[in-house]
Structures are given as C-alpha cells and as structure tokens.
C-alpha cells in the first residue's frame, strides 16, 4: 500500500482500506448485528419443542428461554462473522422478558462488540406430536411377539423378555424415530407400540429385523379418507423367538 493512502474519514494512514475507508471507520458506520425490538418464541410446554415457521423443532429442549432461541432473530452483516453473544436478563413481566446482549463480531480483520436489546415474549402452545399423543392419535403399530413355536412360554416372562429387547432396539434407533413413539399397551402375547409416524415405525421394525433377528410381517387397514385419498394404519408384527439358553437376553446379531 502506498504511503500516501489514508482513510478518507479519520485521516489515518497505514491501515487497510476498502473504498478509501479503514475497517475501524467502516465498523463504526455499519450495522454489524441487529435484532428486532420485539420477538416471540413459541414453545411446547410438554416436550420443549420450538415452532420454526410451520414446523416444530428441538423436541426435548428446555421449556425455558435460552440463547439458542434468540439466534434466529439476529441479522448479521454479510461481511461480518458472529463469534458469540452474551445475554443478560432485565425486567420480566409474565411471559415477557427484557434482554440485553453483547455480540462479538469479526469484521474486515478486526473484532467489535455490538450492544443488543430485545423484548422476548414466550408463547406456550402444544406441538403437533404432543397433541396427537394426548389424543391417542396413531398411524402405525409395532407388535412385539414371541416366536411362532414359543407357545409354552408364560406371559409374564415373555413380556419381560420382549421389553428388554425393545429397550435395546430403541437404544439403537435414530432420535427422530424415537420422537414418533406415542404409547404402548401390555398384552398377554406381548406389547403393542403405537407411533404417530408410519415411516418411523417401519424404520424401527426393519432395524429390529436386521439387528435382532426378528421376523417381520406388515399389513395395512383402511382408516378413513383425507383430501380425497384413502388413509391407512399400518401394523408391523415382529416375532422374537426365544434364544437357546437358560435366560433370554437382548443381543444384537453380529454383522
């Protein structure tokens, strides 16, 4: 850089310039990070999921407001990189909280702290999955049964064996599959597990067949019509024969 170049705003020489302006002066005159004066966060009081647009996300999160809830409201300048934000709570009235923050930002090789202030209103609304569970809504059933030749196995030890196997299956399942679990019913012949999503039920049933040696049959029954199309409920029957040995254990098959 030539020695006669200087910032047209502050007159300082020896600084990197963009369009004749140094980074410090540009930062002073640029909205590096902004946040609206008011924001609203919709939280499911049962599972902690947040409403993001038309979809629910982060099931299992805390029902309390966190810094992660405020990130979607931050608007960061295209040339800036957000390094972090510290928030401090001020006044709180009912479901409204006044928050003051300091955002650490890197811009054109320098770092700045930007003060922020937002009033956040928390709205409690039951999410779709929790609403379905409370209404005993389901689209699929996974049936846990003993082997076809295990007629001599008594009901209580059979249920205990199947429950142990099920715990092992759920432990290997993806979190979104587990999120579709609704409730389960105890039966003399085993367990019926109810799901709010058929795809999740099918995925877990196939996992049980692949990893735990179960046989799998699938059937569907007409439940009704929606938007001019037939709606089906699907049943996945898993049969787990008793393993040889004095005690049944839930051991995945070796790959």
In this prediction, residue 3 carries a pLDDT of 55
Domain boundaries, the chain: 30-127, 136-240
Could you tell me the CA-to-CA distances from 134 to 15, 126, 190, 196 in Å, in that order? 63, 10, 23, 11
10-residue stretch averages of pLDDT, the chain, 255 residues long: 72 80 89 94 92 88 88 93 92 88 92 94 89 85 87 86 94 90 90 93 95 92 73 91 61 57
How many of the other CB atoms lie within 10 Å of CB of 252?
Answer: 16
**pTM of the full predicted structure?**
0.59
Rounded Cα gap, residues 47 and 163, in angstroms: 24
In this prediction, residue 254 carries a pLDDT of 56
User: Of 114, 108, 105, which Cα lies nearest the Cα of 21?
Assistant: 108
How many of the other CB atoms lie within 10 Å of CB of 193?
Answer: 24
| Side-chain half-sphere exposure of 216, counting CA atoms within 13 A | 20
In this prediction, residue 223 carries a pLDDT of 76
H/E stretch holding 122: strand 110-124
Within 77-180, where are the H helices? 128-134, 155-172, 175-178
Question: Structure tokens of 239?
Answer: 């049969």
Task: Write b or e for each residue in 45-76: b if 16 or more Cβ atoms lie within 10 A of its Cβ, otherwise e.
Answer: ebbbbbbeeeebebbebeeebeeebbeebbeb
Could you tell me the CA-to-CA distances from 95 to 47, 54, 63, 87, 92 in Å, in that order? 18, 22, 12, 17, 7
In this prediction, residue 49 carries a pLDDT of 92
Instruction: Find out whether 242 and 165 touch, Cβ atoms under 8 Å.
Output: no
Question: Structure tokens of 200?
Answer: 């999740």
User: Of 139, 154, 136, 84, which Cα lies nearest the Cα of 112?
Assistant: 84
């Amino acid at each position: 850089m030539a020695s006669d170049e200087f910032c047209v705003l502050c007159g300082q020489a020896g600084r990197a310039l963009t369009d004749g302006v140094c980074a410090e002066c540009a930062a002073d005159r640029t909205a590096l990070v902004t946040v609206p004066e008011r924001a609203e966060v919709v939280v499911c009081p049962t599972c902690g999921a947040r409403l993001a647009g038309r979809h629910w996300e982060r099931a299992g999160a805390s029902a309390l407001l966190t810094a992660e809830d405020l990130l979607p409201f931050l608007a960061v300048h295209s040339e800036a990189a957000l390094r972090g934000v510290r928030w401090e709570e001020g006044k709180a009235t009912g479901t409204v909280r006044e928050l003051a923050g300091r955002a650490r930002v890197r811009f054109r090789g320098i770092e700045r702290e930007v003060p922020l202030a937002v009033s956040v209103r928390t709205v409690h609304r039951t999410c779709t999955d929790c609403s379905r569970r409370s209404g005993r809504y389901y689209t699929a059933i996974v049936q846990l049964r003993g082997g076809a030749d295990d007629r001599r196995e008594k009901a209580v030890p059979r249920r205990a064996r199947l429950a142990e196997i099920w715990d092992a299956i759920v432990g290997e399942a993806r979190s979104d599959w587990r999120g579709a679990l609704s409730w389960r019913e105890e039966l003399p012949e085993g367990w019926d597990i109810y799901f709010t999503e058929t795809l999740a039920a099918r995925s877990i049933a196939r996992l049980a067949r692949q990893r735990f040696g179960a046989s799998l049959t699938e059937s569907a029954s007409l439940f009704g019509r929606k938007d001019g199309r037939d709606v089906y409920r699907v049943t996945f029957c898993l049969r787990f024969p008793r393993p040889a040995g004095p005690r049944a254990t839930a051991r995945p098959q070796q790959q």
